[in-house]
């Protein structure tokens, strides 16, 4: 799809801008050069629009080969076409090990501690702020039914397992991963992003924790971003296309 000069802006987020298109159920996602984190920090990531689009296209297409439904439609340079989801305003985090920031919050754990059972966290984000919740909040707020909550948990667990194995083969141990889901024509699917911004990993060759979100400045954030990019797509030239999607 060729670039359109002017499109109605649907929303501006901390990492991308969404545009409406004539086709009502498809949106255009344009990644921003800067990345906002926690509403406090802004990182300038070198070549981020192009890299983010390449990574998203590859990762979403890869997950779909495991029958994980995503909002990805196609890639066009530094832009993505995505299905227009009714987003569920809950961020789901799956923790396999404890990150440094998590260990600071919960002194029962040590950094890089392997968890006997993955921890699932649900962060409700709305106009009042961010709130850790459990499923009963979501039922009471009529955001999800018990069946939908089970579907999200099943998908989150599967995505975590697939990405953990994928990254392990590339010399990275997945510490935690953050996900958002939405509904498209009644089907719950993965939305937003799976990227260096919402995963924490350990570089198996150095033992160092890699977290773009926890970086101290733009230089460190860019370095961490590029490291994860090079591990996921080590031989991909700029403008590389995603793997072919199954019909």
Look up the CATH number of the domain holding residue 147.
3.30.470.20
Number of domains in the chain: 2
Within a domain: 66: yes
- Contacts with 203 (C-beta within 8 Å, 6 or more apart), sequence order: 171, 172, 210, 227
Q: pLDDT at residue 23 above 70?
A: yes
Structural domain range at position 57: 9-83
135 and 41 share a domain? Answer: no
Is residue 84 within 8 A of residue 76, CB to CB? The reply is: no
Give me the pLDDT at residue 181, please.
98
Q: What is the 3-state secondary structure (H, E, C) of 12-48?
A: ECCCEEEEECCCCCEEEEEECCEEEECCCEEEECCCH
Is residue 203 within 8 A of residue 227, CB to CB? The reply is: yes
Measured between alpha carbons, how far is 179 from 91 in angstroms, rounded to an integer?
Answer: 6
Q: Select from 65, 83, 101 the last residue of a domain.
A: 83
Sign for the pseudo-dihedral over CA of 99, 228, 10, 38: positive
204 and 103 share a domain? Answer: yes
Q: Select from 64, 83, 102 the last residue of a domain.
A: 83
Measured between alpha carbons, how far is 229 from 247 in angstroms, rounded to an integer?
Answer: 27
67 and 147 share a domain? Answer: no
207 and 131 share a domain? Answer: yes
Q: pLDDT at residue 247 above 50?
A: no
Query: What is the separation of C-alpha 156 from the centre of its chain, rounded to a whole number of angstroms?
Result: 11
- Contacts with 205 (C-beta within 8 Å, 6 or more apart), sequence order: 171
pLDDT tens digits, 135-166: 999 999 999 999 999 999 999 999 999 999 99
Give me the pLDDT at residue 129, please.
86
State the helix-helix crossing angle for 218-232 and 146-168, rounded to 10 degrees. 80
Q: What is the C-alpha end-to-end distance of the chain, expressed in Å?
A: 19
**For residues 5-16, average pLDDT:** 80
pLDDT tens digits, 87-145: 999 999 999 999 988 888 888 899 899 999 999 999 998 888 899 999 999 999 999 99
**Overall pTM surpassing 0.85 (yes/no):** yes
């Amino acid at each position: 799809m060729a670039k359109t000069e002017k499109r109605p802006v649907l929303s501006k987020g901390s990492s991308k801008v969404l545009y409406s298109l004539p086709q009502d159920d498809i949106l255009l996602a344009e990644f921003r050069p800067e990345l906002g984190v926690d509403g406090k920090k802004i990182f300038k990531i070198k070549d981020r629009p192009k890299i983010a689009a390449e990574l998203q296209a590859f990762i979403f297409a890869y997950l779909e080969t495991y029958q994980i439904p995503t909002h990805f439609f196609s890639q066009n340079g530094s832009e993505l076409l995505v299905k227009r989801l009714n987003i569920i305003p809950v961020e789901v985090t799956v923790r396999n090990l404890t990150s440094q920031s998590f260990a600071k919050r919960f002194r029962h754990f040590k950094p890089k501690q392997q968890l006997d059972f993955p921890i699932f966290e649900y962060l409700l984000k709305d106009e009042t702020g961010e709130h850790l919740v459990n499923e009963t909040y979501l039922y009471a707020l009529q955001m999800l039914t018990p069946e939908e909550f089970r579907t999200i948990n099943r998908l989150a667990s599967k995505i975590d397992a697939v990405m953990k194995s994928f990254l392990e083969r590339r010399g990275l141990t997945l510490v935690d991963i953050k996900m958002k889901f939405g509904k498209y024509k009644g089907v719950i699917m993965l939305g937003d992003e799976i990227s260096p911004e919402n995963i924490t990993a350990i570089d198996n060759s150095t033992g160092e924790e890699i977290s773009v979100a926890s970086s101290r400045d733009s230089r460190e954030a860019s370095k961490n971003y590029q490291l994860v990019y090079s591990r996921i797509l080590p031989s991909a030239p700029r403008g590389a296309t995603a793997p072919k999607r199954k019909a």
